[in-house]
Amino acid sequence: MSDCLFCKIIAGEIPSTKVYEDELVLAFQDIAPQAPTHILVIPKKHIASVAEINEENSSVVSHIFEVIAKIAKEEGLSGGYRVVSNCGDDAGQTVHHLHFHILGGKKLNVEMA
Ligand code: AMP
Ligand code: ZN
């Protein structure tokens, strides 16, 4: 996906502040943090959104959640944190490459919508 912002970050064409990287996933600081800790975790292989997860590509999602738990511990989010994935226009998805927001470091608003 040559026009995908997050694919460009993975390729190193756009800079990011990396938090974690392995052969399958990349985690980096959100450029416009909504909480003291705001990290994005993405698969290196382009998947457009949660709506595109299927039998062939879903194993990376469980790996992403292992990485999320690891990052949350390393970031000291012992009081809790939120994991969010916006899917599609109604949810306000702006980057069409699957990503999971890790939000924490403060008492988060409880409203879900
Ligand atoms: P969403 O609105 O759920 O699609 O989330 C996209 C997220 O990507 C937003 O929180 C943006 O602040 C973040 N973002 C956009 N461009 C960059 C960038 N170059 N580096 C890091 N985060 C970015
Ligand atoms: Zn992409």
Q: Which residues contact 102 (CB under 8 A, 6 or more apart)?
A: 27, 37, 38, 39, 40, 41, 68, 71, 72, 75, 77, 81, 82, 83
pLDDT single digits (tens) 53-105? 999 999 999 999 999 999 999 999 999 999 999 999 999 999 999 999 999 99
pTM for this predicted structure: 0.97
pLDDT single digits (tens) 9-47? 999 999 999 999 999 999 999 999 999 999 999 999 999
Ligand nearest to C-alpha 103:
1
**Ligand 1 centroid from CA 43, angstroms:** 14
**Token pair recorded at residue 84:** 């969010």
pLDDT of residue 35: 97
Is 99 a known active-site residue?
yes
Which of the listed residues 17, 18, 49, 94 should we mutate to test ligand 1's pocket, taking the one with most ligand atoms within 8 A of CB?
94
**Token pair recorded at residue 97:** 């490459």
Confidence grade of residue 1 (pLDDT, cut at 50, 70, 90): low
